[in-house]
Amino acid sequence: MPSDFATVEAKVIAGERLDRADARVLISHPDLTQLGALADLVRRRLHPEPIVSYVVGRNINYTNVCWVQCGFCAFYRRPDDKTGEAYTLAQEELHAKVEELLAVGEPEGQVELLLQGGLNPKLKIDWYEDVFRDLRAKYPRAWLHALSVTEILYIAKISGLSVRETIARLKAAGLGSIPGAGAELLDDEVRARVAPHKEMTAEWLDTMRIAHELGLRTSATMMYGVGEPLEARLNHLFALRDLQDETGGFSAFIAWNFQPEATPLGESLGYAKTSGYDYLRTIATARLVLDNFANLQASWVTQGPKIAQISLRFGVNDFGSTMLEENVVSAAGTDFTDDLPLSEMTRLIEDAGYEARRRTTLYDWV
């Protein structure tokens, strides 16, 4: 007998694990209020205290040089760029950005340094080791939440190392955790269409598996809205759930929609951007499917602070980072990439009926 919403609702209330048929009902359910209430029930089970967390952090894109040419990206510049817009940050520039971050908010406690860039053929593993060691020695408060699966795979390739050796060396140099960026959609048909030069699903998952085995926590992300069927989003969620069952290494899940402006893929799709309704439906479904993920993070940088605020009633328990700097989605034309002042972030959380509380990257309280 096919699942319907009442059947799925009964399973959630009883604390039973949802299957693929249940997830199909959720992600296509037209009543957003019902879906949100169910996701909020699960969120309150996992986090019974009315607290929404956040982290003081900065996103530093250390280079925009990249040869992959993903159809959804407007940030990269080719290695043979002639425009003068290609860059790799010098050590002094990195230091200045970290010092600006340390000056934000409270004067004590860990801050998050989200360090990511393109696939620059001039940067082998010794470059990253030098940068990581330098930053950790000079700024012990700055936690390196750095790189992505795609960057790690490329560093391993051009350095003549295995993925395991690469991650182990980066960890020894100071890498604290790995963001989920680069996941896009864990569906090979979609990946082959939007980023044919990047790793396929199995390789992304295996890299995360190795990181978890080596003792590194990671986050998991999903970028949707690239003309995919809803089934592709479910493929993504169930792939993450299966790996989390195996390793327990994911600290949080974050979803956002493709930002089409100024991108080749956006042009081919007519620059169609999915709606806030679709975001709330997708994140609520994720909260219900990902029963082994403790934390779901809002994406105010792509959805805007108001939709992010509403998402706190759709399964989200974390408001993310103060994001002192953002360059990648802003290059694609999104309107919400100015840094969100800490005072405004806490106001949005408190106006929604929660206490705002600062955390570390690994979700310990500061």
Give kind and range of the element (H or E) at residue 185. none
Length of the chain: 366
pLDDT tens per residue, range 236-262: 999 999 999 999 999 999 999 987 666
Are the beta carbons of 145 and 176 closer than 8 angstroms?
yes
Give the Cα separation of 66 and 181 in Å (integer). 15
Q: What is the rounded average pLDDT of the residues 309-336?
A: 73
pTM, entire model: 0.90
| Measured CA angle at 327 (ends 57, 355), to 5 deg | 35
Per-residue model confidence (pLDDT) at position 326: 45
Cα 160 to chain centroid, rounded: 28
Q: Is the pLDDT of residue 220 over 50?
A: yes
Angle at 145 between CA 345 and CA 129, to 5 degrees: 150
Using one digit for the tens of pLDDT, what is the confidence trace for 47-73?
A: 999 999 999 999 998 888 775 554 445
- Tell me what pLDDT residue 118 has: 79
Of the two residues 140 and 76, the one the predictor is more confident about is 140
- Are 15 and 317 within 8 A, CB to CB? no
- Domains located in the chain, CATH noted: 49-358 (3.20.20.70)
**Cα gap 78→284, rounded to integer Å:** 38
pLDDT > 90 fraction of the chain, expressed in percent and rounded: 71
140-164 tens-digit pLDDT: 999 999 999 999 999 999 999 999 9
